[in-house]
Chain A
Amino acid sequence: MMKCLEEGSLIKRVNYNSTGAIKNSMEHQSHITLPKGSIEKTTTTLNIGPTHPATHGVFQNIMEVDGERVVSTEQTVGYIHRAFEKLAERRPLYQITPITDRLNYCSSPINNMGWHITCERFLKLDLPKRVDYLRVIIMELARISDHLICNSIVGVDTGAYTGFLYVMQYRELIYEIYEEVCGSRLTTNIGRIGGFERNFTNTAFTKLEKFLNEYPKVLKEFESLFARNRIFMERTKGTGGISAERALNYGFTGPNLRAAGVDYDVRVQQPYSSYQDFDFKVPVGTTGDNYDRFLVRNAEMYESISIIKQAYQKIQEFKGTDAEVYHADVPEYYLPKKEDVYTKMEALIWHFKIIMGEIELPKGQIYSAVEGGNGELGFYLVSDGGRTPFRLHFRRPCFIYYQAFEELIKGGMLSDAVVTMSSLNLIAGELDA
């Protein structure tokens, strides 16, 4: 919290040498002699957040700064805590999907799919390949939109607004595809346990083709705007870096861990949704700094495009009735067609049982993870045989790696801390659950 200065107290005057690296943060300001009994400190307390343009979300950093150097920081989270884990204990599985939307809301479909996949693994349901491939398309689109936001925001925080505004148009194309598939854009609630709520329309595929045609060129332009840009490189290189050992110890996953040089990717290590059928690279960095994180995210977008192309090709290879499959045959969990509900007894019964949440779950527990936009998004589900989870815990990658923030920025400049904050891709919804 900002400390109020007593009236008439000395105003600090720090002669700051902007180029020299400081060994001891207090050393260079020994010229400051505070009067005896002064309540003033030699450092300044600065609040960044809870609402601040630099946080891009609702969380707070209470920083001690010495001139422009960060001496220490304390991160405060919880401003949008919504008790999802408690809520989930009174909801049947399908009602938990909309909750997951609100974790990392820049890539809601990955969260939705992650939850469906957890349920399907727990209930031991087998899915048709076409559903897996459709899911892969949606998940990779979500990954692109997530990385796109993160990287362009890093650009904004280093002073380049153009890239952000430019790529927003292409995120819009992704959102239009979501809209065509599930009817909504941000909090998607896309898919159901067992597949999708409806088949992809031709419009959806047309929009996908448009995106695949136009986006790679734009990404190239976006990359050339930043990747070798002198100002951008000097702002991001060597700031907010972390070694692989420390990153692992801090529980980093996803692009942030890969930027530090560890090639851990859930899609490769524990494939879900038939990721083993695809050919893609896992880009890694070396220094784990802001620049490497940017490059890793950028490279991942190219890989995502390639995965989407492969998946789209595989989908086009389905012929006849196989080409119409968009959900598994699991009547206990997948809502029957409305016309069947009105005309068939069995469909009516399942419809009622599903809607009323009257399906008992098997006993047991499962931990299942997917590669979210920010890293390993895990779901730990404990069931006691009731109709709702006995306990559901979300492993939110953001929450876990945000605690390393102090170590990343300590001793650096305040303006680098802001870039580090956006380069970590901290999403308030995922911090708080």
Chain B
Amino acid sequence: MALSNETIQNKLIEKFGDQVLNFSTASGILSFESSKEINLKVLQFLYEEPSLAFTFLTDLCGVNYPDNVGAELVVVYHLHNFSENIRLRYSVSTSINETAVFTASKLFESANWMERETYDFFGINFIGHPNLKRILNVDEMDYFPLRKEYPLEDQTRIDKDDEMFGRG
């Protein structure tokens, strides 16, 4: 029996009730969110529940939404079930002032460096991570470059404002 997005959604709701929310499907991939406190429980349930078996962590990355006050930083997990060939996107959000998210590196070895990368660029503090330090940037760096508050362009230039990029 092929695993469908509806089945996954129902199973998650059955297990976690209204703690999992904002289900949507874009380009065939089911996305949902939960509070950051239960991220490990959700990941573990997806991993260990035999009918779901999302045992492969494809990707883990951060996104910064500066306008979502209290949920500025988002950690996005892309999971994959190889035998059913179905992908899943799961995200948890955290405030930029209190960026603590539980690490998934105990469940997936692959999360180790991906979380380090996310920490490096967004400053998300993964609680319980074995070696949370910068990976691509220099250790001396004192900011988290992919946050939107750090502009790419030279701020003294006036010819390249956000209006040029459709975000006036």
Contacts and interface: CB of A to CB of B under 8 A. Distances in A.
Interface of A: 77-78, 81, 83, 85-87, 89-90, 121-122, 246, 248-251, 262, 264, 269-270, 357-358, 360, 364-369, 376, 378, 380, 382, 384-388, 390-391, 393, 395, 399-400, 402-404, 432-433
Nearest to A89: B152
Given A90-B153, A388-B165, A391-B63, A403 B27 contact: no
Interface string B143-168: 00110000011000000100011110
Given A78-B134, A367-B27, 6 more contacts: A78-B135, A86-B152, A249-B110, A357-B164, A386-B166, A403-B109
Contacts of B109: 246, 249-251, 403-404
Q: Which 9 A-B pairs have the closest CB atoms?
A: A251-B110, A387-B166, A78-B136, A386-B166, A393-B61, A81-B136, A395-B59, A403-B113, A366-B27
B112 interface: yes
A94 to B, nearest CB: 14
A251 B105 CA distance: 12
Contact of A357 (B145, B165, B167): B165
Interface string B1-36: 000000000000000000000000011010100000
Interface string B67-88: 0000000001010001001010
B165 A365 contact: no
Given A270-B85, A357-B165, A380-B59, A250 B78 contact: no
Contacts, number: 106
Contact of B165 (A121, A386, A402): A386
Contacts of B153: 90
Contacts of B108: 249, 251
Contacts of A395: 58-59, 78
Contact of A86 (B31, B114, B145, B166): B145
A400 B57 CA distance: 10
A81 B113 CA distance: 15
B: interface residue count bin: 35 or more
A376 B78 CA distance: 13
A377 to B, nearest CB: 11
Interface of B: 26-27, 29, 31, 55-59, 61, 63-64, 76, 78, 82, 85, 87, 89, 108-110, 112-114, 117, 121, 134-138, 145-146, 152-153, 160, 164-167
- What's the dominant secondary structure at chain A's contact region? mixed
Interface centre among A87, A270, A365 (most CB of B within 10 A): A365
Given A78-B136, A248-B56, A249-B110, A380 B152 contact: no
B66 to A, nearest CB: 11
Given A248-B55, A378-B58, A378-B59, A85 B146 contact: yes
A282 to B, nearest CB: 13
A380 B145 contact: no
Contact of A81 (B58, B87, B137): B137
A242 B103 CA distance: 24
Contacts of A391: 63-64
29 contacts: A81-B136, A83-B152, A86-B146, A121-B27, A248-B82, A249-B55, A249-B109, A250-B110, A251-B56, A251-B108, A251-B109, A251-B114, A269-B82, A270-B85, A365-B31, A366-B26, A367-B59, A367-B87, A367-B89, A376-B58, A378-B58, A378-B59, A382-B63, A388-B165, A390-B63, A391-B63, A395-B59, A403-B112, A404-B109
A403 B136 CA distance: 13
B76 A380 contact: yes
Contacts of A89: 152
Given A250-B110, A251-B108, A77 B136 contact: yes
